[in-house]
Amino acid sequence: MGGDYAPKNVIAGAVDALAETNCRFFLSLVGMEEKIDRELQGHPLLRSLKPNAYEIVNAREVIGFTDQATAAVKTKKDSSIAVGCALHKEGKADAFVSAGHTGAVLSASTLVLGRIAGISRPTIGALIPTAKSPSLLVDAGTNVDCKPRHLFEFAVMGSVYVEAMLGKKNPSIGLLSIGEEDNKGNDTTLEAFSLLKQSKLNFHGNIEGRDVLQGKVDVVVCDGFVGNILLKFGESVPSFFKAKFMTFAEKSIVNKLVALVAKGGMRSVMKELDYQEHGGVPLLGVNGVSIIGHGGSTPKAIKNMIFRAEEMVQQKVNSRISEAIMQYA
Amino acid sequence: MGGDYAPKNVIAGAVDALAETNCRFFLSLVGMEEKIDRELQGHPLLRSLKPNAYEIVNAREVIGFTDQATAAVKTKKDSSIAVGCALHKEGKADAFVSAGHTGAVLSASTLVLGRIAGISRPTIGALIPTAKSPSLLVDAGTNVDCKPRHLFEFAVMGSVYVEAMLGKKNPSIGLLSIGEEDNKGNDTTLEAFSLLKQSKLNFHGNIEGRDVLQGKVDVVVCDGFVGNILLKFGESVPSFFKAKFMTFAEKSIVNKLVALVAKGGMRSVMKELDYQEHGGVPLLGVNGVSIIGHGGSTPKAIKNMIFRAEEMVQQKVNSRISEAIMQYA
């Protein structure tokens, strides 16, 4: 039931994921049964699926975008988010995926699944495009006020995630700051710097705002306040350029022709900053696999979220986080 | 002597500024006399200037980019930065402009000129391009660890500056945060929110990272940690797109042709994010007019810095800041 186009896009993505993999996994579709069933019946690929590849788990409540996250999770026990998380907790599912209310998914996952021992703050990491391969920005907005230890934990979780999921050996970690020198930063990052420096992580040192899109490091560590602002700023760049490009095009006939020709190229380039394609962000540090999708998730994004969840299970990301953090307990 | 291309670009910009305004002001060129004189003599427009439109003030020392800011200001008493600030303090100049070591200009200005009563933290504001007219981002990197009161002062100074220099009546103020709702933010911004809400400022409320380039408000308030990271991130966007555009062009002959046609348009649009054109950033809150330029300042940037300094004097920005902050003392 999660997301702006639910259950339509969610079901479409789920069926696509099953169809594309010849039903490699089993999906529990959690939410209002009749709505889900109606969407399923309307999907052209439904007949091609094995009938035992999915089930509908009825959940009568929905957490809306105006609900207060933690309160809603506690009062709406029969919401698709609460029921879905419980399925995972009980071992009836190996992972939970939702494009619903971000705060509620976060709360439910943390409350129901619990935290990995040694992790004080679960975090969301977001893959961001760079001039090289994507980097993981962590924390992407979950924890706004952070202590040095929290930033350190984000680095450990980010390192494990990138190694496991992106196949990068010993990923490089950068601490987002205001200068490259060791002594540049605010009170929190300066202390986090020493923690990172002393660790066995592949710590590159401080990086600056300009290094993020260059792909200077594999994991960019910051608090959720900075992470949220940076991500949203980045997302807004394409529409800024679009507006400027329109102004450029309106200046002359020649410009208009240039703009017409360039349009496709521009779109292809700008698409790089479209995070929706990437298919959700992982919640790291909880005792389970929980993927949080954008409210506007397309069927493709939902499908990619499911694939990502499957891979996180197979790559044993959580036990690897658990082992990694134990070294620094 | 300041900047990567000193004294060449500095002198070129200074002469251009005088030539363009028919010597509307008097310039003291501070630094190594013989070097300055050599540059002056080589400038084609020198002969067109009134001979009493400028002077050379000899200063034998230079603060280099590797010097530690505050220490250098104190030990290198005969540096161009220290001597220039002193000229201003003694009333022999109405403003000080430098493209030299940012930290040293900041330190010298604060130490020598002192703070405006009621201002606890001088700040640097940076004009940033938006889909509408430019906004002022304040603090742009000076104060990394801020208390709510500091953010509030930045808002007051930013409001005065934008009204005085950009001619916007009662500029709107946005507090950079992680959500638009009043209760979104970190500990510091939440408290700053109440201070701003209670003030007579035209406080729009919280804004998000995505609102900055949209030009939602005239003044974007944040601490210098966030401001520095955001500005540097923004500056890096053009080269990111350039790299992606090259990749696009290499994909096919058609793409290469599209890229060739689009190049000019792209360049014109990307130029919007080039802060160097804007000509320096003002240091607000000190008892004087101090403009800090980019190390790579072009002659045009230097010229614009001089014009900006002149206008700040004429607009009486400092006495307006002083009056504005007194209301909240």
CA distance B148 to chain A (A): 14
Mean pLDDT check: name the lowest of A184-188, A253-257, B119-123, B174-178: A253-257
Task: List the CATH code of the domain at B126-277.
Answer: 3.40.718.10
pTM: 0.91
CA distance B180 to chain A (A): 12
Say whether pLDDT at B277 is over 80: no
Average pLDDT, chain B: 92
The whole-number average pLDDT for the span B42-69 is: 92
What is the interface size between A and B, counted as CB pairs within 8 Å? 155
Average pLDDT, chain A: 92
Is the CB of B269 less than 8 angstroms away from the CB of A244? Answer: yes
- Residue boundaries of the structural domains of chain B: 1-119+285-315, 126-277
For residue B263, what pLDDT is reported? 78
Say whether pLDDT at A329 is over 90: no
Residue B202 token pair:
């035209």
Taking the C-alpha atoms of residue A161 and residue A126, their distance in angstroms, rounded to an integer, is: 11
Residue A209 token pair:
């705002």
Task: List the CATH code of the domain at A121-278.
Answer: 3.40.718.10
Residue pair A174/A204 in contact (Cβ under 8 Å)? The answer is yes
Task: List the CATH code of the domain at A1-119+285-302.
Answer: 3.40.718.10
Residues of B whose CB is below 8 A from A249: 265
CA distance B224 to chain A (A): 9
Q: Which residue has the higher pLDDT, A243 or B326?
A: B326
Substitution target in A135, A266, A271, A274 with the highest count of B β-carbons within 10 Å is A266
Pairing outcome for strands A54-58 and A27-31: parallel
In this complex, the residue of B240, B258, B269 whose CB is nearest that of residue A245 is B269
For residue B3, what pLDDT is reported? 84
Q: Which residue has the higher pLDDT, B146 or B241?
A: B146
What does the pLDDT look like over B85-112, one tens digit per residue?
999 999 999 999 999 998 999 999 999 9
In this complex, the residue of B144, B236, B258 whose CB is nearest that of residue A265 is B258
The whole-number average pLDDT for the span B242-263 is: 82
pLDDT bucket at B174, cuts 50 / 70 / 90:
very high
Restricting to B residues 124-153, those with a Cβ less than 8 Å away from any Cβ of A are 130-131, 141, 144-145
Say whether pLDDT at A275 is over 90: no
Which chain B residue shows the shortest CA-CA distance from A206? B229
Substitution target in A130, A244, A245 with the highest count of B β-carbons within 10 Å is A244
| DSSP E strand stretches across chain B | 27-31, 54-58, 96-98, 123-128, 135-138, 172-176, 202-207, 219-221, 281-284, 290-292
What does the pLDDT look like over A125-141, one tens digit per residue?
999 989 888 999 999 99
Residue B112 token pair:
């020598």
The one-letter amino acid code at B116 reads I
For residue B315, what pLDDT is reported? 97
What does the pLDDT look like over B3-54, one tens digit per residue?
888 899 999 999 999 999 999 999 999 999 999 999 999 999 999 999 899 9
Which chain A residue shows the shortest CA-CA distance from B240? A131
For residue A318, what pLDDT is reported? 97
The whole-number average pLDDT for the span A176-186 is: 95
For residue A278, what pLDDT is reported? 64
The whole-number average pLDDT for the span B244-256 is: 83
pLDDT above 90 covers a percentage of chain A that reads 77
Say whether pLDDT at A168 is over 70: yes
For residue B274, what pLDDT is reported? 64
For residue A246, what pLDDT is reported? 81
Is the CB of A230 less than 8 angstroms away from the CB of B235? Answer: no
Domains B1-119+285-315 and B126-277 share a fold: yes
Phi (first) and psi of residue B202, to 5 degrees? -80, 75
The whole-number average pLDDT for the span B207-233 is: 97
Restricting to B residues 263-292, those with a Cβ less than 8 Å away from any Cβ of A are 264-266, 268-270, 272
The CATH architecture assigned to B1-119+285-315 reads 3-Layer(aba) Sandwich (3.40)
Mean pLDDT check: name the lowest of A221-230, A234-243, B203-212, B225-234: A234-243
Say whether pLDDT at B278 is over 70: no
Is the CB of B212 less than 8 angstroms away from the CB of A236? Answer: yes
Do you find a cis peptide bond into B7, omega within 30 degrees of 0? yes
Residues of B whose CB is below 8 A from A255: 265
CB-neighbour burial class of residue A329 (10 A; exposed 0-12, middle 13-18, buried 19+): exposed
pLDDT bucket at A291, cuts 50 / 70 / 90:
very high
Residues of A whose CB is below 8 A from B214: 236, 239-240
Residues of B whose CB is below 8 A from A295: none
What does the pLDDT look like over A12-71, one tens digit per residue?
999 999 999 999 999 999 999 999 999 999 999 999 999 899 999 999 999 988 888 888
What does the pLDDT look like over A101-118, one tens digit per residue?
989 999 999 999 999 999
Q: Which residue blocks in B95-147 are alpha helix, DSSP H?
A: 102-108
Q: Which residue has the higher pLDDT, B247 or A10?
A: A10
Which chain B residue shows the shortest CA-CA distance from A234? B210
A212 touches chain B (CB under 8 A): yes
Residue pair A196/A328 in contact (Cβ under 8 Å)? The answer is no
A224 touches chain B (CB under 8 A): yes
The one-letter amino acid code at B279 reads G
Phi (first) and psi of residue A182, to 5 degrees? -55, -30
Q: Which residue has the higher pLDDT, B269 or B289?
A: B289
